Structures are given as C-alpha cells and as structure tokens.
Chain A
Amino acid sequence: MEKMSRVTTALGGGVLTGRTMHCHLDAPANAISVCRDAAQVVVAGRSIFKIYAIEEEQFVEKLNLRVGRKPSLNLSCADVVWHQMDENLLATAATNGVVVTWNLGRPSRNKQDQLFTEHKRTVNKVCFHPTEAHVLLSGSQDGFMKCFDLRRKDSVSTFSGQSESVRDVQFSIRDYFTFASTFENGNVQLWDIRRPDRCERMFTAHNGPVFCCDWHPEDRGWLATGGRDKMVKVWDMTTHRAKEMHCVQTIASVARVKWRPECRHHLATCSMMVDHNIYVWDVRRPFVPAAMFEEHRDVTTGIAWRHPHDPSFLLSGSKDSSLCQHLFRDASQPVERANPEGLCYGLFGDLAFAAKESLVAAESGRKPYTGDRRHPIFFKRKLDPAEPFAGLASSALSVFETEPGGGAMRWFVDTAERYALAGRPLAELCDHNAKVARELGRDQVAQTWTMLRTIYCSPGLLPTANLSHSMGKGGSCGLQLMNSFNLKDMAPGLGSETRLDRSKGDARSDTVLLDSSATLITNEDNEETEGSDVPADYLLGDVEGEDDELYLLDPEHTHPEEPECVLPQEAFPLRHEIVDTPPGPEHLQDKADSPHVSGSEADVASLAPVDSSFSLLSVSHALYDSRLPPDFFSMLVRDMLHFYAEQGDVQMAVSVLIVLGERVRKDIDEQTQEHWYTSYIDLLQRFRLWNVSNEVVKLSTSRAVSCLNQASTTLHVNCSHCKRPMSSRGWVCDRCHRCASMCAVCHHVVKGLFVWCQGCSHGGHLQHIMKWLEGSSHCPAGCGHLCEYS
C-alpha cells in the first residue's frame, strides 16, 4: 500500500521518518504541543495529560503527567505548550484559571513546577517566548493577559485588553518585545511587552470572535488570524495600519491556524464545530483547500507541525480521543480532484470550453508570465518544489464554433424557415425545398428532394406504354437506377460492405431474373457509359469484385475509394426532362455524353445508399413489370427517412413526411413518426422558431402531436360575483354557488360561448344576442346602455 509508506526527511543532522498513523487516547484532547526534538508530543485535555513518543510506526505513551490522589481542576487543561528551547519545560492553561508549569527534569513522579493562580476565569492560551527561557504569556477569558517570569512567583505584568475575553496570545517570532492577542469581539491587539498600560495597535480583524492567530515563521510582518466568521485572514503588520493581504474562506469557524513550515503560503486550519477535517490552504488560492486530512471522527482541537522545518508531518489531537500523525503526501487534495475544465455543446453547434489558464499558456509555448512586471502578482508562477500547486489558478473561457462562418446549426434555422411544407402541388414543394437546400449548400438533401419529385410526380405522368415499350427500354430505365447506386455523394464509407453482404442473397436471385435481358442491358450499359465523362464521377471502389456483375456495369470503372463526387448543379433543373421522356437507346447515348445524365443519376444516387438491396430488388422487378409505380420506392423512401433521422437530421425526415403525406405515412409506424415529430418540434422550439413549430404541429397527422397545440392553452375563468377562480365547471361557481353567466335574453345559464358587451358587461348566448341586436341596440338586460358588438 503506497499510501501508508513511510516518509523520511533529512533535517540538518536529524532525520524524520514516519507514516500516517494514529493512536487512541483515553479521553478527548483539547490541545497538543510538540517537543523541539520532534520526537515527543504532549496531549492535554480535561482528563488527559500525557506525553507520547513519536516512533516510526506508532505513538508510544511515555509519561502520564496526571498524578496525584484526586483529580485536581488544575489538571483540566485548556491549552498546553512545550518550550521550544527547553525540552523539560511545559506550561498548561487550566479551565479554572490556573497556569501551571511543568519540569520534566524533576526526579519525582509529580513534575509540577509552578502554579500561578492569578486569572479569575479559564485561561485559553499559554505561550512561551520564542527565545527567552523564562518568559511565559497567558490569555484568559477574564480579558487579561499576564506575563510571567518563571523565576518569580507572580506575574511580571498584566495587560488589559479592555474587552471580554482573550482567545489567543502569540509572541512574535522576530520582534523580541511584541506579541499579538485576539479577542472575542473580533479585535486583534498588538502589544509591547514592556508597556502594559496600553496596546501598541488595535484593529478589527473579524466579524465575531477571533479564535486564533499565528505569526508567519519567516515573514516577520505576517499574522494569520482565524475567526468564527469562517475566515482566515493574513495581515501585513509591518505597515502603519494592518493590511489584509489574503482572506481564506473555510466551511466552518476557524479554531486553530498554523503556518506550514517551509511553505511560504500554506497554513493549516481546523474547526471547533461541524467540520472534523483539517485543511491546508494556499492563501493565494483562498477557495479550495490544497490538502485535506479526514482522519478524525470528531472535531479537531489541536494541530501542530511536527518540526519547524519539515512541511510534511502534521500532528493533531481531537475530541474523538485520538492522536494522529498526518503525512502531507497522504492528504486528499480537493484541488486535484476538482474538474479543471468545463465543456458545453451549445445549441448552435458552438462549444463553450473553459480550461485552466496555465495549461493554455503552456500549450502555446508561451512562458507563463514568469516575472513579467506588467502582469499582476497572481499571474506569476513561482516554481517552488515544496508547493506542487503553486500559483493561483484561473481559467480561460472561450466559445468555439465548430464550423467557420455562422454557427453550425444555422442551416437548420434557415431550412426550417424557408421550407415549404404544404399548400402547393407536391412537385412544386419538392422543387422549392430542393432549391432551398441547394442554396444552403446541402446538395445531398437537395438531390433527395428532386428525387422525391421524380418518384412521386413523374412516373404517374409517364404513359405506361412508354415504359413497357420494350425490354430494352425498361432495362435501360432500370440501368440508370442501378448505375446510380454506386454513385455516392452521401457520407463516404457508408457501410456499403455490410450492406452488400446482406444484399448478396437477394442479389443472387436477381442475377437469375436478370439473365434473360442481361445481354441487352450490358450492351446498352457499355454504350451509355463508355465515351462519356460520367463515369469519372462514379464511385465504385467499395463494390467488391464478385458484386460487380450484379450491377452489370463495365468493371473497368471500379475505381478505388475516391472522394465523393460533387455534382454540377446546373444539371438539376433539366433532370425531370430526362426521366419524363421515354429513354430510347440513341437518346440515351446523347445524354450519356451530356452532363445531364450525371445529374439525373445522381438524383437517384442518394436514394441508393440507403439500402442497395432494395434498389436491386425493385429494379429487377421493374424489368418484368416494366413500370415504376411510386409504391416500389416506398420502402426506399422509408429507409431514407430512417437514415436521415439516424444522421440527426430529423428535420429532413419530418419535412419529407409532411410533404409526401399519405404516400409514405403508412410505411412508417406511428410511434416513429410521432417520435420524429416531437423531436423536431422540440428542436424548433429551442431555436425559437415558434411559427414553424406551429405549422408542423398543424400539418402533422399524428394525433398525439396535433393535440399539442391545444394542450398548452389554458382558460382561466373567474366568477363574476365573488371574483374567485372557478375550478370544476366553467359556468357555476363552487364558492358562491351561483351561476356565473346568465343570458340577458333568455335568463338561462350560458354554458358555452358567452358574448358580452364590454361597455355594460351584460351578455348572453351568441344567438340570442345577435337576434336581439337585430331589433334593438339597447342592452337586453335593460340597463339602458347602447351595446356595441364588433
């Protein structure tokens, strides 16, 4: 288990090793303090006062300082501190106001040294002078701070905070005479130890009690304070007025704050309520903790870094009666867990993408703002190995468009607005829509429309005689179709392989059927394709060799995969002419030379990829039936609609469905239709195309869809007497039990349409009022008003 592996840190001559571990205490801890050798820790609480040796694998109890016959209140510790110069010297603050010092060097079992009973209430904090061996400071709930010289029996001086209670006192590490104290009223005071009469400076640091403070171990001016307002603030005390430099917002009130050794911007905090975790913050990143220790099951009461020059070991005591050693490396790091990127696909095919800025900058090969004076401090990245997440994080948010020039979904809006779906003959609708699609550069869709026109309009006009003229003509007619399904200008690699595999079975039998006319067809085919420029547009590559014969196309045109052909647009307008006229062999020849043929074939082309097996079948049938009634294509059209829908172009599916109406509706099951309709309507509404959406709803044949327009219309009726809304029936009020609307003419209740004069608000049945007004323009109710109805 890597997580629990040991960490070894060399510190000057000594070496610190250890792992994340914890031990059970007999009672809840209130405070802990570490000996300067970093090998022992003292734990103090209401009913515990013990020294533990920190060994590599475990804590070992070394000494129990709670001795004596009966538990004294003097031993109920609120705070404990171990002198950082003298390994034998400890001080505790008792809840009864007593300050006790302990000398571990005493030979007797009772190590108690001195007892100061000067404070009247609980002593919240004791603090040794960092360099002076005999100076001890205490801060109490009674509002006083006292300075003791351990060589004397009484306090040397008393400082009055002029306030209710002192929560913390801390000697400055650098300024010999200075200490800071924090108060329950939100103030922080700075004192000179030589001047007990008044404080040097005072400022309001927090809203509510300031529970703790800590001087920065290196920067002499920095003081961190933590309060009940859930904030940790870092103050620059060197300036004349304390300046707030950083403000960290935690989740719960801050009970303890401790700067992390060797990491200029890190500090650890714990809370006395709600939150049991210990957090390490980078003060420049005030919103997300850099690390989090989640070992404790109850509130953490004391935290201490094990060694003043080692950033990786943190010790903590908790109300859950446990003592822990945390390894920074094992901490959970919310920053690391946090998602650094946001991504969203917008409606118009645009992408919103937010990403960490440093990453962005690094990617473009740009120096990430190192030392550039023009940039504010938080853009500078100081590379500090001890701080793996150095630097403030910020994100860049960009909106991309997935296609240049207008949102990728612009076509959808344009198409929706311009399509004609009803009110004109089918042929015109198809032509119009084809034109719209072509103008929007959607050739495939345009071709589909022209093809639909061909299928559903032209064959009906074709004299049957022409079609059944001869096998030859029928064959050539079929040929055009067959040719075309090799032509692909739809998405390349359209899965034709699998399709062909599937079609093989069908195709085999087709070959037999085709046999009789095979010669003729092949001839014509050659005639048609050879010497024309059309084949260049063909894409035959994915047709396997054995399938070639099925298509009866000259095999030399089997090009390997080629880019999809783009068809000349001028070919379209002439297309129907080609199909309309019975194609005679010589006629065909002509057209094969002209680009028109490619146009007409291409039209059919987009049909074909939908399912070639069907086209094969229908063609072979055509050879026998010698005519092409639209029904033959219904399967094809159905598959085409499915294809479009699956491609995400439900617009096309629905538009075709509406335009073709009865011609295809029966082939597609109602549920699918309904699904398409609702999907399309939903899309239209997202694009705020209310009119189009309405039209679609109106034109839809699905009952569930067409009732959509009614579903969202609500009529609110209020009673004309009591002015309350009428719930169940529209004509009698549930509350005042009166009929709301009486006809002024017949004096009966109006249950349906009620017309009334807006001048006198009398009215009645439409019929009656109309009749009345024929005879008189006065109100039928007799109010004398000259009613006006428009």
Chain B
Amino acid sequence: MVSVINTVDTSHEDMIHDAQMDYYGTRLATCSSDRSVKIFDVRNGGQILIADLRGHEGPVWQVAWAHPMYGNILASCSYDRKVIIWREENGTWEKSHEHAGHDSSVNSVCWAPHDYGLILACGSSDGAISLLTYTGEGQWEVKKINNAHTIGCNAVSWAPAVVPGSLIDQPSGQKPNYIKKFASGGCDNLIKLWKEEEDGQWKEEQKLEAHSDWVRDVAWAPSIGLPTSTIASCSQDGRVFIWTCDDASGNTWSPKLLHKFNDVVWHVSWSITANILAVSGGDNKVTLWKESVDGQWVCISDVNKGQGSVSASVTEGQQNEQ
C-alpha cells in the first residue's frame, strides 16, 4: 500500500523537525536543529536543493508555506524565539521579515486560509500566540493572545475559510464577512479554539478537554465537501482524538478516540480531501486512518512496513558517500 518514492538527502547536520510541501506539491521545505531551513524541488521524484536559508540562531521547529497567490513565502519558527518570514524574489530566497515578539521558543507557525489575506499564527513556549497580519509595504501588524496556554503552546492550525450565511447576498467586490478561527494545542493538555470578534480581538471560543498530557499537534481538516468541522489532535499521552462539530454555531464538539498508541504521537496530518489522516508516533511509524461509513476510524495502512527500505536506502546513500 505504501512505498518509498523518494529518499531525500537533506544533508541537514542535525535532526529534522518538520517537512512541509508547498501548495502545488512540488517543493518541500525542511527545517532542522542545525538552524537551517532548506527547500527542495521534489518534482518527479527528484530532489534539487533550491535554497538553504540561514538566519535562525537555534533549532528551527516548524515551517509553513503561504498560499502562492501572495508569492513564494515561507515562515519558520525557532527555539531562538524568532519567527522569520522568507520570500523568494527573482529566484533568490531572502529574509523578508523577522518577528521577535516572543519570550521563549516559538514552536508552531501556520498561515491562515488565503481568503483572509496574509495572516500568520505563531504559538510559543511562553504561552502566547501571536498573529501577524501583513498590512502592505513590508509592514506586519502584530496581535498577541497572552496566556493562551499555560507553560506553552505547541501547535496552531487554522480552520478553513467558511462564510456564515450565503455568499450570494454579498455585494460584489466587497470582501465577504469571514469568521476567522483557529485551533491551538498546548502543554496544559488542552485544545483551544479561537475566534476573531468583530472588533478584531481574539477570544477563546472553546476549550476541548480529553488529553491527559501535552497536546503535540492539532490539525483542522480541510473542508472539501464536508458538512462538519473536524479537528484531529494528538498528544504525549499517545492518544489521537478526532473532534467533530455538527451544529452551525460551532459550540458542541465531541471527541472520538481514534487510537491509543504506546508512545508519544507527534503529528497528525490530513490528506487534502480530508478523508485520510496520517499519524506519526514516537515509535517512528506513520499510520493512515480512514473513517468507515459507520463512523469508526480504521487503520488502512502502516508506513512502517516500508521502513526497511528507508533505512536500507539511507545506509546505501551513506556508503556511497564514503
């Protein structure tokens, strides 16, 4: 079911913490403890290093691609308390903005749906979440939610753009009235949902409680034809929950345990049509899950099976280097 198509020789000098493909699936950005962010062209199974971005002074935890309608923009966050926004211009990648508004390691970055403009949410170990909004001409406006999560915020994920009421009634040319929402997970074992009020302030809308240890990742499912809102969360406690909300007001969320793993679960990632969830855990396994029609989540694949070939190819690669 699962096979390796490409083993990327990243030549990172330390552990890789995140890998993200861009909107078109042609480029892969990786970030590592070695303070660098690298961008690879992975079209047709290739791996061409496009850029090696240096600028962080600590391990880089996460990277995020902005929607291509704003150009080629990548955000990265690091242990050095900084968020850097990189931009490609005329084929070269350069630092376009540096945000140093956090007092501790910044653990997660996530771009808002493109409909809202360029907005970046950053979750930090100082417990705060900051929202950077591009206001044009290289200026970024910062809003900060202090004490979003005590001890620290580990993950942020935006809700897909949904318009309350119909688009039809919107006068043309006027921006539709989006309700901006995102989810965050933190060291207080909670998942929180945040909503932008009409005055532009961010307010905690919901507190989702089910995990018994740090929440490591949250992923809001893309809304492709789905009538419900869905969030996946994973935690240090080894559990993965799927949260769904059926009512329009978005107030009642019910958790469903996808699986209890034996080790920390680090990441959850939705396929673009939101029907398959990839889960990666501390045992170095990736499993793929799909909801069956009776609402049960079943494991449809186990990437670990392909792992043998991974390590084999890695070793070969190294031997070739000798």
Segment at the interface with B among A66-74, A314-322, A561-569, A667-675:
A667-675
Q: Is there an interface contact between B35 and A364, defined as CB atoms closer than 8 Å?
A: no
Q: Please state if A357 and B5 are interface contacts (CB–CB under 8 Å).
A: no
A350 in the interface (beta carbon within 8 A): yes
Count how many pairs of residues, one from A and one from B, have CB atoms less than 8 Å apart in the complex.
262
Q: Mark the stretch among B21-29, B86-94, B136-144, B196-204 that contacts chain A.
A: B21-29
Q: How far is the CA of A310 from the CA of B122 in the complex (A)?
A: 41
B225 touches A674 (CB 8 A): no
| B168–A342 touching, CB < 8 Å | no
Specify which chain A residues have a CB less than 8 angstroms from the CB of B280 in the assembled complex.
341, 343, 353, 355
A287 touches B224 (CB 8 A): no
Q: Is A239 an interface residue (CB 8 A)?
A: no
- Assess the B2–A344 pair: CB atoms within 8 A: no
CA separation between A400 and B271, bound complex, in Å? 13
Point out the residues of chain B lying under 8 angstroms from A151, CB to CB: none
Q: Determine whether the beta carbon of A357 is less than 8 Å from that of B292.
A: no
Verify if A199 is at the interface (C-beta below 8 Å from B). no
B157 touches A (CB below 8 Å) = no
In the complex, identify which listed stretch (B178-186, B237-245, B253-261, B303-311) lies at the interface while the others stay far away: B303-311
A397 on interface, CB distance cutoff 8 Å: yes
- A354 part of interface (Cβ distance < 8 Å): yes
Q: Size of chain B's interface in residues, with CB distance under 8 A?
A: 85
Residue of A nearest to B310 (CB): A398
Q: Does A683 contact B (CB under 8 A)?
A: yes
Partner of B14, one of A285, A345, A493, A647: A285
User: A345, A355, A683, A687 — which one has the most chain B CB atoms within 10 A of its CB?
Assistant: A345
A344 CB to closest chain B CB (Å) equals 5
- A588 CB → nearest B CB, Å: 32
With A249-B57, A679-B225 as known contacts, state yes or no: A395 contacts B15, CB within 8 Å: yes
With a cutoff of 8 Å between Cβ atoms, the chain B residues found around residue A642 in the complex are 227
Distance (whole angstroms) from the CB of A150 to the closest CB of chain B: 44
Contact with A along B290-316 (1 / 0, CB 8 A): 001111000001011011101111110
Q: Contact check, B80 vs A251: say whether CB atoms are below 8 A apart.
A: yes
The complex places the Cα of A484 from the Cα of B105 at a distance, in Å, of: 60
Contact partners of A672 in chain B: CB under 8 A: 227
A377 within 8 Å of B by Cβ?
no
Q: Report A-chain residues with C-beta under 8 Å of the C-beta of B249.
A: none
Tell me how far the C-beta of B68 lies from the nearest C-beta in chain A, rounded to whole angstroms: 9
- Pick the interface stretch among A85-93, A416-424, A494-502, A522-530: A494-502
Report if B147 contacts A (CB, 8 A): no
* Interface residues contributed by chain A, number (CB under 8 Å): 81
**Which residues of A, 455-494, contact B by the 8 Å Cβ criterion?**
491, 493-494
B286→A400 contact, CB < 8 A: yes
> Is the Cβ of B314 less than 8 Å from the Cβ of A360?
yes
In the bound complex, do residue B57 and residue A679 qualify as a contact, i.e. CB atoms below 8 Å apart? no
Q: Shortest distance in angstroms between A168's beta carbon and chain B's nearest beta carbon?
A: 24
Q: A343-B269, A399-B4 are in contact. Are A688 and B24 (CB under 8 A)?
A: yes
A352 touches B23 (CB 8 A): no
Contacts of A334 in B (CB 8 A): 59, 79, 105
**Which residues 211-239 in B have Cβ within 8 Å of A in the complex?**
216, 223-227
B16 in contact (CB, < 8 A): yes
1/0 contact trace for B27-68 toward A, CB 8 Å? 010111111000000100100000000000111010000000
- Closest Cβ of chain B: how far from A231's Cβ, in Å? 11
Binds B, one of A179-187, A212-220, A402-410, A742-750: A402-410
Are A396 and B14 in contact (CB-based, < 8 A)? no
Please determine whether A704 and B8 come into contact, CB atoms closer than 8 angstroms.
no
Q: How far is the CA of A286 from the CA of B223 in the complex (A)?
A: 42
**A residues less than 8 Å from B310 (CB atoms):** 360, 396, 398
Distance to closest chain A CB from B75 (angstroms)? 15
Are A360 and B307 touching (Cβ within 8 A)? yes
**A229-267 interface with B by 8 A CB criterion:** 230, 249, 251
Known: A400-B4, A491-B293, A495-B295. A347 touches B24 (CB 8 A): yes
Give B277 Cβ to nearest chain A Cβ, in Å: 9
CB distance from A637 to the nearest CB of B (A): 16
> B224 and A363: CB pair below 8 A?
no
| Known contacts A345-B269, A491-B292; A398 and B7 CB within 8 A of each other | yes
CB distance from B261 to the nearest CB of A (A): 13
- What residues on B are CB-neighbors of A395 within 8 Å? 10, 12, 14-16, 32
Q: Are B25 and A350 in contact (CB under 8 A)?
A: yes
B19 with A397: CB separation less than 8 A: yes
**Chain B: CB-nearest residue to A641:** B225
Q: What's the minimum C-beta distance from B314 to chain A, rounded to whole angstroms?
A: 5
Q: Does A401 contact B (CB under 8 A)?
A: yes
User: Chain A residues near B315 (CB, 8 Å)?
Assistant: 361, 366
* Complex: chain A residue closest to B69, CB-CB: A712
Is there contact, CB below 8 Å, between B2 and A394? Answer: no
Contacts of B227 in A (CB 8 A): 642, 646, 672
Q: Pick the contact of B270 from A338, A342, A345 — CB < 8 Å?
A: A345
User: Which residue of B5, B32, B35, B269 contacts A399 across the interface (Cβ within 8 Å)?
Assistant: B5
- Please tell me if A386 contacts chain B, counting CB pairs below 8 Å: no
**Assuming the A-B contacts A339-B216, A354-B30, are A398 and B293 also in contact, with contact meaning beta carbons closer than 8 angstroms in the complex?**
no
Chain A contacts of B278 at CB under 8 A? 343, 345, 351
Q: Which residues of B contact A354 (CB under 8 A)?
A: 10, 16-19, 30
If A287-B59, A670-B166 touch, whether A397 touches B269 (CB-CB below 8 Å) is no
Q: Which of B58, B168, B269 contacts A344 (CB 8 A)?
A: B269
Q: Which of A363, A404, A494, A683 contacts B3 (CB 8 A)?
A: A404
Q: Please, how many angstroms separate the alpha-carbon atoms of A230 and B319 in the complex?
A: 35
24 cross-chain CB contacts under 8 A: A251-B57, A287-B14, A287-B59, A288-B15, A340-B15, A347-B23, A349-B276, A356-B284, A361-B314, A364-B308, A366-B311, A398-B310, A400-B4, A401-B2, A401-B4, A642-B227, A646-B225, A648-B273, A648-B274, A671-B166, A671-B167, A679-B224, A679-B225, A704-B167
Give 17 A-B pairs besides A395-B32, A650-B273 with Cβ atoms closer than 8 angstroms. Answer: A341-B17, A344-B19, A345-B272, A348-B25, A351-B269, A379-B318, A393-B14, A397-B16, A398-B6, A398-B310, A399-B6, A400-B286, A403-B2, A646-B226, A670-B166, A675-B225, A704-B167
